[in-house]
Structure 1
Amino acid sequence: MNKPAQQKGLSMIELLIALAISSFLILGITQIYIDNKQNYLFQQAQSENQENGRFTLMLLEQQLSKVGYRRRPDIDIEESFGAINGAGCSFLKGQVINSVDATTICIRYQPRDPEEANCTGNGLSDIEKSTISNAYTIPNQPLSYIERFSLVIDDDKNQLTCTAAIVSGTLVSDPVTGVLVEGISDIRYEFGVDTDANDDQKADEFIPNPSPLVNTQRILSVRYSALVHSQKNVSQGMGSQAFAKWYEHEATPPAEPSTGRLYQISGSTLTLRNLMP
């Protein structure tokens, strides 16, 4: 009797079946990897937005809380802060905060102590420090800081910047500009002002642009909000509800950029305690 032929290796049909099964497995593993990577990038972009939003609010709160600070609170604010121009800002006598445009504000205050730095991290010279080394004293040439917060729009890096200068009497130093935060698509300010005749030092309404205010409409609080965005394309073509909400009251809202970025809105309100009675 003849012995049956023994099979050696794989038949073509077995090989094709094995290749088909392994292809499905590879496709499944690849899809899982892509989904996990996309989820990781999405979470990373959310964390980036939350961090930028928190830092922006913390920074603005820190600097706005200094508005109108006087080393001698017993001296009237109009005597402590004269009319001045500098660092791209213009102030009336006694005015310590105003807006240049919808995304730019100017503030000023006196340094609390010799070591206090402005928003760019720069401080007083040794000679200037010596003039305010004693608490609650005013030098012959009163010292103060001017700071201008601006939004610089760029396709890749939208930046919140600060330009600062030191005022000594009527002299203003050369301004210095520094970048504070990146990833800010837009920023808005509203100012609580006292508009009634009884001068009760209460914010009667919030207005977006107090540049033309007269002294009877003193700013008492600031409401500020920022639209922050991630740096990477992670939205997979989905529209952003935060972007749409930010511009929902615009007569002609802009189209969302096709960058695939995530957007988030952060905001807060601060009472200017140095201006309260």
Structure 2
Amino acid sequence: MTAMRNMGYRQGAFTLVEMMVAMLLGIMILLAVSEVFVNNNRTRIEIENTTRQIENGRYAMQLLEGELANTGFFGEWSGAVPPAVGSPTVTACLSSEDDVRKAVNVPVFGGGALTAGSTDCMTGFKAGNDYLAVRRTSTCAVGDAECDGFESGRYHLQVSACEDDDPGEILLQVASVVADMDATQRDCTSQAPVYRFLSRLYYVRDDNVLMRAELGAGAYVSTPLVDGIERLHFEYGIDSAGADGEVDKFVSEPTAAQWANVVAIRIWLLARNLEPTPGYTDDRSYTMGNEAAYTPADGFKRQLYTSTVRLNNVAGRRESPVVAGAAGAEEPSAQTPSAPAI
């Protein structure tokens, strides 16, 4: 029994100093692991924010490029010069059938300041940005497979191919009631294809969202498209020298007479992260065309995207004009506008 008591005494327990050292080492290891976890989590969040910003910027640019690729497409009409439908409509929002007819002469229109009536179709417009109005028809005819049907109250466009018709009167048939669509094909009997007329405006809302306002049945309907789009700017390529479809100069504010001659558009789009980055300050200056440099000086990371888009349906018609009245000259066939389906 004495031996057993001596053995238990020799085993003993941890001293207070040993326990404190062990606890300190454990805390240090825990702090190191926590620091690694926090840094990894912060890095993951930053990567997600940057990836989302890149995706938003690229997607917004693709939307604009795809829309401009179809701008100026008006169904079977493939004339070398705009039809005689009156003076061009140089306005953002279309509100009548007469506006729609005249808008054919101005497939694109834009600006940096809202005019009277523009607030009706671009709610929440963010000051300091540009908007872009595009006019075209759907790339498929009403009744085709996977194409929207005729919608009463919306504007539609129909082109007459009958040689007996007077092009000055019914080259373009615009109506919002299907019974009024009476233009015919080359046989002068069969109904000509009917296309839905599209009037769309792209702009940045005051909460940094790319918006699209589209003319519906009697009013414009706004749809949010992409988050994190902070600034938007356009410049317009004017074909003024020989009406050959080539850009002679780029301007930021075309005159009323120049809008019908826009054949290309430069786009500047500034996308930013949805959340600020701790400890980061964006002190870079972003230059978009001839606008004053923009220096945000805040904690959001940004990326500037730019692209130049040719308006194929506008410029293409100018490349092969119809030769009329030239003795001995061969009359080339009219060029059909391109319309990649989107």
| TM-score, scaled to structure 1 | 0.77
Question: 2: distance between equivalents of 1:232 and 1:108?
Answer: 35
Structure 1 residue runs of 5 or longer lacking an equivalent are: 167-171
Which structure 2 residues correspond to residues 235-254 of structure 1 after superposition, within 5 A?
235-240=277-282, 244-246=285-287, 251=292, 253-254=294-295
Which structure 2 residues correspond to residues 171-186 of structure 1 after superposition, within 5 A?
173-186=218-231
Question: 2: distance between equivalents of 1:141 and 1:248?
Answer: 37
Change (3 A) 1:262 1:62: same
Shift of 1:110: 2.4
Question: 1: distance between equivalents of 2:259 and 2:233?
Answer: 24
> In the alignment, is residue 193 of structure 1 matched against residue 238 of structure 2?
yes
Question: 1: distance between equivalents of 2:73 and 2:154?
Answer: 18
The corresponding residue for 2:20 is 16
Q: Secondary structure at the match of 1:225?
A: strand
Contact preservation (8 Å) 1:114, 1:133:
no
The corresponding residue for 2:248 is 204
Question: 2: distance between equivalents of 1:81 and 1:146?
Answer: 18
> In the alignment, is residue 74 of structure 1 matched against residue 79 of structure 2?
yes
> In the alignment, is residue 160 of structure 1 matched against residue 186 of structure 2?
no
Which structure 2 residues correspond to residues 1-277 of structure 1 after superposition, within 5 A?
3=6, 5-71=9-75, 72-74=77-79, 76-79=81-84, 83-84=88-89, 88=93, 94-101=105-112, 102-114=129-141, 124-125=150-151, 140-141=173-174, 144-154=197-207, 158-165=208-215, 173-196=218-241, 198-210=242-254, 212-215=255-258, 218-233=261-276, 235-240=277-282, 244-246=285-287, 251=292, 253-257=294-298, 260-276=299-315, 277=318
Question: 2: distance between equivalents of 1:56 and 1:86?
Answer: 24
Change (3 A) 1:247 1:183: same
For 2:84, give the aligned amino acid.
Answer: E
Structure 1 or 2, whichever has the larger Rg, is 2
The corresponding residue for 1:169 is none
Shift of 1:105: 1.1
Shift of 1:268: 1.5
For 2:93, give the aligned amino acid.
Answer: G
Further displaced range: 25-34 or 139-148: 139-148
Change (3 A) 1:165 1:199: same
Shift of 1:270: 0.8
Question: 1: distance between equivalents of 2:91 and 2:218?
Answer: 8
Aligned residues: 259
Question: 2: distance between equivalents of 1:249 and 1:215?
Answer: 19
% same residue: 17
